[in-house]
Structure 1
Amino acid sequence: MSIYLYRWGKLAFRRKWVVLPVWLLFFLVLAGLGSSLQKPMTDDFSMPNLPSERATEILDKHFPGMSEAFAFDAVTGTYVVGAPPGQKLTDPANRAAIDGLIGDLEQLEIVDHAEPIVNPITATEEMGCLTGQPDPSKCSGAPLNVLSETAPETVAYFSVPFAITDFADITAEARDAAYNAGDSARAAGLTVEISGTIAMEQEMPSGKSEMIGMAVALVVMIVAFGAIVAAFVPIITAIVGLGAATSLIFLSTSVLSVPSFTTFLASMIGIALSIDYALFIVSRYKHELAVQDSAEEAAGTALGTAGSAVVFAGLTVIIALVGLGIVGVRFLTFMGLGGAIAAAFAVLTAITLMPALLGAFGKALFKPKLPLIAQHDPEDDSVVTNGTRVARVIARFPAVTMLLAIVVLGLLAAPALNLNLGLPGEDSLPKSTTVRKAYDLRTEGFGEGSNGVLQVAVDLSETPVDQRAAALDALRDKLRSYSDMDLVTEPQMSKDGAGALINGIPKTGPNAQSTKDLVQSARAAESDLNEQYKMSYGITGTTAIYADIDHVLLSKIVPYMAIVAGAAFILLILVFRSILVPLTAALGFLLSMGATFGATVLIFQEGELGLIKDPHPLVSFLPIMLIGLVFGLAMDYQVFLVTRMREEYVHGADPTDAVIKGYHHGARVVTSAAIIMISVFGSFLLESDVTAKSMGFALAVGVALDAFVVRMVLIPALLVLLGKWSWWMPKWLDRIVPDIDIEGSRLREVQAAQRSVVATPTG
């Protein structure tokens, strides 16, 4: 491979005014097709074959249309009303204000007038619950908090049917109209907040992350190259690569239903990888200019060596991202594919566009040279850099540095034992939003579990008619027997009499582990009840769906890691022609992942250090996304750093010297690349959404720990301790594994032959 890339690098450098127009034409055509054929993207977080779907089937059978309220893209709206301090909602003035609120809502065009809006006070009266001592067995489902011991009749809620069918169709005007309908009631002194999708705004990236990432990358590359012009070349390839990847994703919407968040991961990966890969090649090119006979030869050599590493580093990222498809979750599959497309274009621009840009900028690339910056070339073996000093310390005390790295990672990993997962619900929104205020107000009036009611859909088709009442009583008694269940409502019977709907209100919120355990226990009880009464049931609702998704995602982590790590292991055997180097790379990644999970749990779930004022469970898909992304990047740094060590070893250095020299050559570029990644990911902490914050933090910490502790401390220490065994491979395997020559041995032979031909007199 090194020879092919070397030849292409020289050709692209020489024929730059052909390559650049071709790339420009390709980019413009792809961008034009993407923008002209693009269709709207979708928002679909659904998963197939969840246990909660059983309840949906029962609802469809006995309560036609009711299951639509549980769809991910359903438009829902619940108004939560609070009385002024010291008053009750049943006071005449407040009751009149609620009547006025419902009247205002009935005038809105966005409301479905085919269904009446139920007044919560009237409904509570009809249930016989506005008495001195309301019966908990009958009034637990009342929409007015008559059962409150401290402030009864102060909080109420009611649902509003909307004519809008899909969440994506909700406009800002519709959202404002829904909220402003409560203005008259607010003027009367009531608190009126809205929960549900009608009040949720689609979170759009602020753009701060990309801008900060680009800015930091520019500064890092100026420091790395010691020149301003050279720092802009990776920015150009990043813009082109990301633009092309995004255009291809937009183009795919003409034939596929693509989730709108596909471009989120693509932009994150595209910017970071494009800059990283360009940085790696330009750094090598800078050195080759000093030792090669011409700039063209330097470009070819840089692409043949560093470019080979870029190709295989990119392949590890692509494998990790495409592997997300095995989870079986549609939005994760498309996010992975979007990121893989961006990674592929990052590699493509680095090995095809980059050498042409090097040729176009020519001698001006590293001019003017900035004073006091990048004074020492890390490719020059005659100078001692900070990387050399660190490598010598590691080589002198390999066992100590290895143990220190393991202890640090182990201590950070300890909090990961308390990992709790959930989906971003209404409780994770900023406290300033009406949805979060509605959640808190409803919690105050009815308990936190009221925000995640369990809908138990019961099928009595096989139950004898004379036993149906007894069957429902037995089910309700069983549900009430659980210590984490707060209230169980009276069953709502279907018109055919063969179905029922029971609401169970947990004591804790939708994302609490105790609530998820309650769902599992309630489902497990079905077999006994079915055996006795021939009754079957399913459980759905926000809480049940969250529990199902958590279970599915957690169950996929191990097979996902096995497939991705196995594929990457084979790829790294090709790269390093070693068994132990890929093995230590994978084991080191497990340590960095454990430490990353621990740090994220400590800050975002347990609220330590006061960085997060409102701690919550980590979002369910964070672990698998984190594993996929950081694994790919970790293997990038492994390839960038350890290929230089192998290159030195293959060219005659003893194992310890090879580690020191390879570290000397690769430390600056790995450090620069990691800082860029950390800046891009860390900038997501500026977003208001807690999910974006936690993902940005986890990715930034994951890259920092893996790059600076595992790749730059632990792995070099292990290679020193292993000595020549680091590069051992069984002879039988050595014979069947193709030699891809990533270290450029054949390339050097070709260059030496070329020089000898030039030096030979022609007579």
Structure 2
Amino acid sequence: MAKYLYRLGGWIYHHRFKVIGSWFVILLALGVTLASLGSSFDEDMSIPGTKSEKAMDVLNKEFPQGGNGGKIKFIFKAPKGETLDSKEVKAKIQEALKNVPKDKEVAAVTDPYQTNTVNQERKIGYADITYKKEAEKVTEASKHDAEKIATSLRKEGIQTELGGTVVLSKVEVGGISEVVGIIFAYFILAFTFASLLTAGLPIITSVIGLAIGVLCIVVGSNFTAIQSVSLSLAVMIALAVGIDYALFILSRHRQHLAEGLSIKESISRATATAGGAVVFAGVTVVIALCGLSIVNIPFLTAMGLSAGLTVFIVVLAAITLVPAVISVAGTRVSPAKANRFLGKFHSKKGQKESNAWGRMLARYPLPIILICLILGGVLSYPALHIELGLPDNGTKSTDTTERRGYDLMAEGFGEGINGPLVVVLDASTSENAQTAFVKTAEQLQKFKNVAFMTPPMPNQDGMFAIVNILPKTGPNDLETKELVNSIRDKAAQVEKTNNVKMMVTGATAVNIDISDKLADALPKFASVIVAFALLLLIIVFRSILVPLKAVLGFLLTLTATLGFVVLILQDGHFIHLFGIPKEGPILNFMPVLTTGILFGLAMDYEVFLVSRMREDYLHSGDAKKSVLTGLKHSGPVVTAAALIMIAVFASFIFAKDPMIKSMGLALAFGVLFDAFVVRMTLIPALMTLLGRSSWYFPKWLDRIIPNMDIEGEEFLKEEQKKKASKTKNVLQK
């Protein structure tokens, strides 16, 4: 591969403007396509085949009059000293609701006074607007009309908030999170390169690659089911790795310039060496993301493929657009110089192949290993009581109308109103369906956590009925989950005694089923990832212990990351420090998604750092010295790359959407722990302690496994031999 990348770098040098122009043509073409097609994201995050989905299918078939239309809930609270029954308050609410049907997309609107959806104190009530279209297809114009009506009531002194199944607060891409991440990345690059111009090059190239990737996803949403959260996830990952990959190639180019190579030769070599490592690292990340499809969960597959596509595009940008931009910059990109700050940690006289950090690890390997393991163990401990769920309106900021509406509903009707359960009763094989329904309802009433339950409501042929249950606890509370499981456990006995099939559905039940499915998928996915990592690293490093240490380090990173997010997001410690409105369950797809992403990124740093150690070991045969050399030469670049990635991920903590906020927190901490505790500390300390044993590799295995020259060292040696031979022939002539 290095041979072809070397030739590619040389070709790009001569055709730099064509390459840059091609990228802009692609960007323009996708922009025009988007302008004509628009976007069509599908917010469905269900999993076909779960118990709740099967029950929902029966519900939609047997109760078609209920429809699948999206709903916006108007939630009212009377002014202080008045009730919703006060003459003026009632008149204002009813007058406002008369304006709702003016929107032709509205199928029905309820009157809280007729449906009696007002609490006992007559202070809080709600009205439902049902639309003709599904929740995710309700237009922005319809949402705006609803918000306009709510605003008019607020001006009249009646607190009016919105809720329901229609998403009112969209996931934003291109907002403050991305800007903050890019600014931090720029300052880190400026510090690393000691040049404001050079620092801007990785930013420009990564943003262009990212923009093309984002446009591909948005255009693709018109042809396949993609959730909007996939877009934010793709931006988060691709922006971080795109800047990192450009950094690696640009750093290698500056090193070659410092060695006295011409600009063309430097670009060719940087593309062949660092470019090869970038391709390998990028493909690893893409495989990890696409590997999410093995858990067979549609929305997770869409997220993985979307992010994988964007990473693939930024890899292409790194090995084509970056060399082209460097070629245009020419002499304005200066050769590498020693960083004054990092110089404090560099070699002392007589210690040219080491720095202060490496010498400390070499002097105290065992205590450092123990400290890393204890730290990882302490951080991992909270993960033992992890609870999975999906964020709802109750986890949003109090600045949003959805959160205020959620709190009003809980205040007026109890926590359970925000997570109702729908029990579907199937008595199609019963001789007396009505009697069977009554008996079943009596048994449902006996469950401890039931706050309110409606009588069975049969369909037109009387063979099916639904029972609405309000739990005493909220939708993400453990007691609510236990209630759902208790009803399902009781279903077999009810079917036997009453000849009635009993199924539970509703948003809360669907959430529980998705969380359980994802929890079951994590061990399977992690096992595949670990096996893949072992095989990959054995081929790359031609060692048994180095890959084993790398995989164990990844598992420590994963458990520590999960423990950290449980400590913050679920247990509620330091939530205000991170701007998190309220503690709650861990995002149910976070563990699986974090496993895939952190695996790819961990292997990136492992390859960039340990490959340099292996190169020095092959030359010197000194295992301990090779660790010091690797830390000195690759450590600063890995440090800068990790800091950039942490800055980008951490910037997403400022996002309003709780899903994006929690993913940003998890990935920022995961990279922090993996880069600085595992890759830069634990792994080098272990390799120092084990010495030559780290590089043990059976000869029989060495013969059958292909040699992957990741950074093109073998190719460059051959090139040098060819040039030396040509020079010799010229001199002889």
* TM-score, with length taken from structure 2: 0.92
Q: Which amino acid aligns with 1:410?
A: G
CA contact under 8 A between 1:376 and 1:383: conserved in structure 2? no
Q: Does 1:414 align with 2:381?
A: yes
Helix, strand or coil for the counterpart of 2:424?
A: strand
Secondary structure, aligned partner of 1:359: helix
CA distance in 1, matches of 2:145, 2:328: 56
> Which AA in structure 2 matches 1:762?
Q
Supply the distance in 2 between the matched residues of 1:88 and 1:709 (Cα, whole angstroms).
59
Deviates more, 1:748-757 or 1:552-561: 748-757
Cα drift, residue 428 of structure 1: 1.7
Give the aligned partner of residue 19 of structure 2: 22
Distance in 1 (CA, whole Å) between partners of 2:156 and 2:353 is 69
Equivalence for 1:535 = 500
Task: Identify unmatched segments of 5+ residues in structure 1.
Answer: 125-142, 147-151
Q: CA, structure 1 residues 371+161, in 2 after alignment: closer, same or farther (shift >3 Å)?
A: closer
Amino acid at match of 2:497: Q
CA change 1:557–1:198 in 2 (3 A) is closer
Report the CA distance between 1:154 and its aligned residue.
2.8
* Distance (whole Å) between structure 1 residues aligned to residue 180 and residue 156 of structure 2: 46
Query: CA offset at residue 690 of structure 1?
Result: 2.6
Which of residues 135, 143, 156 in structure 1 aligns to 2:125? 156
Is the 1:55–1:457 Cα contact (8 Å) retained in structure 2? yes
Match for residue 591 of structure 1 among 556, 560, 584: 556
Q: Label 1:532 to 1:697 Cα distance change in 2 as closer, same or farther (>3 A).
A: same
Q: What is the CA–CA distance in structure 2 between the aligned matches of 1:257 and 1:188, rounded to whole Å?
A: 42
AA of the residue aligned to 1:62? E
CA gap of 1:355–1:111, structure 2 versus 1, over 3 A, is closer
- Cα deviation, 1:227-281, whole Å, max 9, x if unaligned, reads 2332233223213322332344355456444444443233222222121112112
Cα distance, 1:51 vs structure 2: 1.2
- Matched with 2:545 is 580
Is the contact between residue 645 and residue 658 of structure 1 (CA under 8 Å) also seen in structure 2?
yes
Quote the Cα distance in structure 2 between the aligned partners of 1:371 and 1:566.
Answer: 39
Deviation by residue 1:323-358 (Cα, 9 ceiling, x = unmatched):
112233333222212221222223222223333433
Q: Does 1:500 align with 2:495?
A: no
After superposition, the Cα gap between the structure-2 partners of 1:49 and 1:216, relative to the gap in structure 1 and judged at 3 Å, is same
* Counterpart mapping for 1:372-451 below 5 A: 372=340, 388-451=355-418
Note closer, same or farther for the CA distance 1:458–1:36 as it changes in structure 2 (3 Å cut). same
SS at match of 1:537: strand
DSSP 3-state at the match of 1:77: strand
Query: In 2, Cα distance between the equivalents of 1:29 and 1:563?
Result: 36
Identity of aligned residues (%): 38
The alpha-carbon distance between structure 1 residues 26 and 613, as it changes in their structure 2 partners (threshold 3 A), is closer
After the TM superposition, list the runs of 4 or more consecutive aligned residues in structure 1 that deviate by more than 6 angstroms: 367-371, 373-378, 380-387
Correspondence list, 1:82-231, <5 A: 82-112=77-107, 115=108, 117-124=109-116, 143-146=117-120, 152-171=121-140, 173-182=141-150, 186=154, 190-198=158-166, 200-231=168-199
CA distance in 2, matches of 1:189, 1:347: 56
Secondary structure at 1:176 match in 2: helix
State the alpha-carbon separation in 2 of the partners of residues 441 and 410 from structure 1: 41
Q: Distance in 1 between matches of 2:60 and 2:211?
A: 45
715, 724, 733: which one aligns with 1:755:
724
CA distance in 2, matches of 1:370, 1:650: 26
Query: What are the residue-to-residue correspondences of 1:324-343 with 2, within 5 Å?
Result: 324-343=292-311
- Whole-Å separation in 2 of the counterparts to 1:50 and 1:415: 29
**Which of 75, 82, 102 is the equivalent residue of 1:80?**
75
Equivalent pair of 1:6/1:747 in contact (CA under 8 Å): no
With over 3 angstroms needed to count, the CA separation of the structure-2 counterparts of 1:253 and 1:108, relative to structure 1, is closer
Deviates more, 1:54-63 or 1:487-496: 54-63
Tell me how far 1:640 sits from its aligned partner: 0.8
Q: Does 1:546 pair with 2:546?
A: no
TM-score, normalised with respect to structure 1: 0.88
- Partner SS for 2:407: helix
Deviation at 1:500, TM superposition (A): 0.9
> Cα distance, 1:504 vs. partner?
1.1
In 1, distance between residues paired with 2:728 and 2:343? 34
Deviates further, 250-259 or 728-737: 250-259
Equivalent-residue separation in structure 2 for 1:402 and 1:394 (angstroms): 9
Q: Which residue of 2 aligns with 1:138?
A: none
Query: Deviations for 1:673-715, whole angstroms, at most 9, x for unmatched residues?
Result: 0110111011112222332222111111111001000110111
CA 312–472 in structure 1, closer or farther in 2 if over 3 Å, else same: same
Q: Secondary structure at the match of 2:620?
A: coil
Q: 1:257 to 1:92 in 2, by over 3 A?
A: closer
Q: Can you give the 5+ residue segments of structure 2 that lack an aligned partner in the other structure? A: none
1:629 aligned residue: 597
Distance in 1, matches of 2:258 and 2:5, equals: 20
Within 5 A, what are the aligned runs for 1:610-629?
610-611=576-577, 612-629=580-597
Give the match for residue 286 of structure 2. Answer: 318
The offset of 1:81, in angstroms, is: 2.6
The answer to whether the Cα contact below 8 Å between 2:47 and 2:53 also exists between their aligned partners in 1 is: no
Distance of 2:27 and 2:273 partners within structure 1? 30
| Larger deviation, residues 557-566 vs 629-638 | 557-566
In structure 2, the residue matched to 1:479 is: 444
Separation (CA, whole Å) in 2 of partners of 1:4 and 1:178: 59
> Which residue number corresponds to residue 128 of structure 1?
none
Name the aligned partner's letter for residue 119 of structure 1.
D
Q: Match for residue 132 of structure 1?
A: none
- What's the offset of the Cα at 1:742? 2.5
Q: Give the distance between the partners of 2:74 and 2:112, measured in 1 at CA.
A: 10
CA contact (8 A) 1:110 1:162 kept: yes
Which residue of 2 is the match for residue 133 of structure 1?
A: none
- Rate the CA distance shift 1:708–1:525 in 2: closer, same or farther, 3 A: same
Aligned positions of 1:683-702 closer than 5 A: 683-702=651-670
With over 3 angstroms needed to count, the CA separation of the structure-2 counterparts of 1:213 and 1:96, relative to structure 1, is: closer
Aligned to 2:276: 308
RMSD, aligned α-carbons: 2.8
Task: Name which of 19, 28, 32 aligns with 2:29.
Answer: 32
The answer (yes or no) to whether the contact 1:682–1:700 under 8 Å persists in 2 is yes
Q: Secondary structure at the residue paired with 1:42?
A: coil
Aligned 8 A contact 1:31 1:244 in 2? no
Match for residue 237 of structure 2 among 264, 269, 283 = 269
The structural deviation recorded for 1:717 is 1.1
Could you tell me how far apart the structure 1 residues matched to 2:685 and 2:24 are? 45
- Give a deviation string over 1:631-655, Cα, whole Å, max 9, x none: 1111111111111111111112411
State the distance in 1 between where 2:61 and 2:416 align: 27
Aligned to 2:429: 462
User: Amino acid of the residue matched to residue 546 of structure 2?
Assistant: V
CA distance in 1, matches of 2:102, 2:572: 45
Is 1:682 aligned to residue 681 of structure 2? no
| Alpha-carbon separation, structure 2, partners of 1:109 and 1:61 | 26
Residue of structure 2 in register with 1:571 after alignment? 536
AA in 2 matched with 1:76: K
- Tell me, in whole angstroms, the C-alpha distance in 2 between the residues paired with 1:199 and 1:636: 37
Match of 2:419 in 1: 452
The answer to whether the aligner puts 1:711 opposite 2:679 as a matched pair is: yes
Alpha carbons of 1:548 and 1:307: their partners in 2 closer, same or farther (altered >3 Å)? same
Residues 451 and 471 of structure 2 are in contact (CA less than 8 Å); yes or no, is this contact kept in structure 1? yes
Farther off after superposition, 224-233 or 243-252:
243-252
The residue that corresponds to 1:139 in the other structure is none
CA displacement at 1:381 relative to structure 2: 10
Letter of the structure 2 residue corresponding to residue 478 of structure 1? Q
> Which is worse superposed, 495-504 or 734-743?
734-743
- Larger mean CA deviation between 559-568 and 594-603 belongs to 559-568
Work out whether residues 83 and 89 of structure 2, in 8 Å CA contact, stay in contact via their aligned partners in 1. Answer: yes
